[in-house]
Amino acid sequence: MLVKRYISEGLAHFSYLVADQGQATVIDPRRDVVVYLDEAAAGGFHIDHVLETHRNEDYLVGSCEIESITGAEIFHADSQWDYQYGFPAEEGQIWWVGRLKIQAIATPGHTPGSMSYLLYDPDGNPWMIFTGDALFSGDVGRVDLMGQNRLEEMAGLLYDSLFTKILPLGDGIIICPAHGSGSVCGAGINDRTWTTIGMERKNNPKLQVDSKEDFIKTHAQMLERPPYFKKMEQLNVEGPPILGKLPWLRPMLPNAFSEAGQEALVLDTRDQISFGSAHLAGSLALWSDTLPKFAGWFLPYHQPIVMINDQLSHERILRMLIRMGFDNLSGYLKGGVLNWSWAGKQLEKVEIISVSAFYQTVNNDPDIFVLDVRSADQPWDDGIPQGVHIPLTQLKDNLSEVPKDKRVYIICTRGNRSMTAASLLMNQGYQDIVVLIGGLTAWQAYLRNEV
């Protein structure tokens, strides 16, 4: 028997393989499905079924990909939408994985047709529940995806799902949600990697409410919504294009890369230190470690993408983008920026400032322009007093607030968003930009150290 969780880096998406006695079921697979296939092959399990907890909005689901290989039957939730593949999962429906029973429980709220799946142990006792985006460790699903109009309705549905269907299953049940800490699907998700109904009942802040009204009042909120969600929602109903295998990434020497970059977007996945030091004119800074968080905001679906990446694994980036439907990443600069420099080609820099120098600058010159690009849900008052707040994701629409004739100091929580902001501004013609390396994390630590 095997119950295994797979974590998609950056998206913090959790998927699961449940296997017993030659059979296997995957819950909410990601699109690059080789991990499930390899595990199943190693254990001698045949993947018969794929279960989806809801129409996912933040990644492309791999159900059709698995079906194309093993012939698995797909069961999807949210059958109110016009699915072009698989079968609808019905409330109470049962599947078997060897000795293990799985049962569908309708838990709407995040989407109108969200399903949870209750797994029983070999002796027939309720054991684990796959809650999708209904219930996380430390948070519950967002309810704003149906729009402002249905906000309270959806929050009410979620309340009922949580308090009348999931929690009554008993404290001892293990919860297997669709996301972990770092997901755009729940800012409050913590990293208690395994959790139970008992622990959530006691410790999940969203469940500490007096009444349904109370829950609706506090939880019915519109949140930021990356533009790529729309694409994911559409493709996840249509059935995402079948990959078969990962696309080939073409290594390009500087001249070829230069030519490709005429048409393609140049994505630079290196960190703030490297990008600041030397980068290609016109490139977009999106650090690999947080790439999935921002790719959906800034990358195009209808333009080729070529990449600069100083890690050994180009495939890591490819997988991240493929999971979000960016099948248009076509190649990378072989040898990276050093190779570009050896070809005698032009390099740009973004000035970076270390925290001690910035401290002096701020203290000496109260009139400096500080652009704070932290996310909208950040508590704003702990930044630099001078900070003008424009979340990174809203920067392009608010350029008028950023002076072109003044040095612009950019800050954020850790420095990564700042460098992305810097690359966006430079591509808009801004020239005098300085990024605080390490961001407010560095700032606050510096203040603590100094005192």
Task: Enumerate residues 372-411 that contact a copy of itself by CB under 8 A.
Answer: none
| Of 78-86, 118-126, 370-378, 402-410: span binding a copy of itself (CB under 8 A) | 118-126
Q: Find, among 437, 446, 426, 438, the residue nearest to 352 by Cα.
A: 437
* Alpha carbon distance 9, 62 (integer Å): 16
- At residue 266, the 3 state secondary structure works out as strand
Q: What is the CA radius of gyration of the chain?
A: 24
The helix-helix angle for 291-298 and 228-238 (nearest 10°) equals: 90
Q: How far is the CB of 359 from a copy of itself (least distance, A)?
A: 10
Q: How far is the CB of 276 from a copy of itself (least distance, A)?
A: 6
Q: Which amino acid is at 423?
A: S
Q: Which is nearer to a copy of itself, 38 or 91 (CB)?
A: 38
Which residue among 82, 84, 92, 123 contacts a copy of itself (CB under 8 A)? 123
Is residue 197 part of the contact set for a copy of itself (CB under 8 A)? yes
Interaction residues for a copy of itself, span 410-429 (CB under 8 A): 414-415
Interaction residues for a copy of itself, span 124-143 (CB under 8 A): 125, 127-128
* Alpha carbon distance 239, 130 (integer Å): 22
| Of 75-83, 221-229, 241-249, 361-369: span binding a copy of itself (CB under 8 A) | 241-249
Is residue 355 part of the contact set for a copy of itself (CB under 8 A)? yes
Q: Which is nearer to a copy of itself, 94 or 347 (CB)?
A: 347
Which residue among 102, 171, 284, 409 contacts a copy of itself (CB under 8 A)? 171
Q: Which amino acid is at 191?
A: D
Is residue 447 part of the contact set for a copy of itself (CB under 8 A)? yes
What is residue 167's DSSP assignment?
G
* Alpha carbon distance 309, 214 (integer Å): 48
For 157, other C-beta atoms within 10 Å of its C-beta total 22
Q: Which is nearer to a copy of itself, 111 or 272 (CB)?
A: 272
Q: How far is the CB of 251 from a copy of itself (least distance, A)?
A: 4
Which residue among 312, 363, 379, 397 contacts a copy of itself (CB under 8 A)? 312
Q: Find, among 12, 102, 97, 8, the residue nearest to 52 by Cα.
A: 102
| Of 9-17, 105-113, 152-160, 201-209: span binding a copy of itself (CB under 8 A) | 201-209
Give the position of tokens 């913590």: 190
Is residue 362 part of the contact set for a copy of itself (CB under 8 A)? no
| Of 56-64, 367-375, 401-409, 432-440: span binding a copy of itself (CB under 8 A) | 432-440
SS3 helix, strand, coil % of the chain, rounded to 5? 35, 25, 40
Is residue 35 part of the contact set for a copy of itself (CB under 8 A)? no
- Give me the half-sphere count of Cα atoms (radius 13 Å) on the Cβ side of residue 134: 34
Q: How far is the CB of 132 from a copy of itself (least distance, A)?
A: 19
Is residue 217 part of the contact set for a copy of itself (CB under 8 A)? no
- The backbone torsions φ and ψ at residue 412, rounded to the nearest 5 degrees and listed phi first, read -155, -160
Which residue among 92, 245, 263, 379 contacts a copy of itself (CB under 8 A)? 245
* Alpha carbon distance 280, 308 (integer Å): 9
Which residue among 10, 62, 261, 276 contacts a copy of itself (CB under 8 A)? 276
- At residue 185, the 3 state secondary structure works out as coil
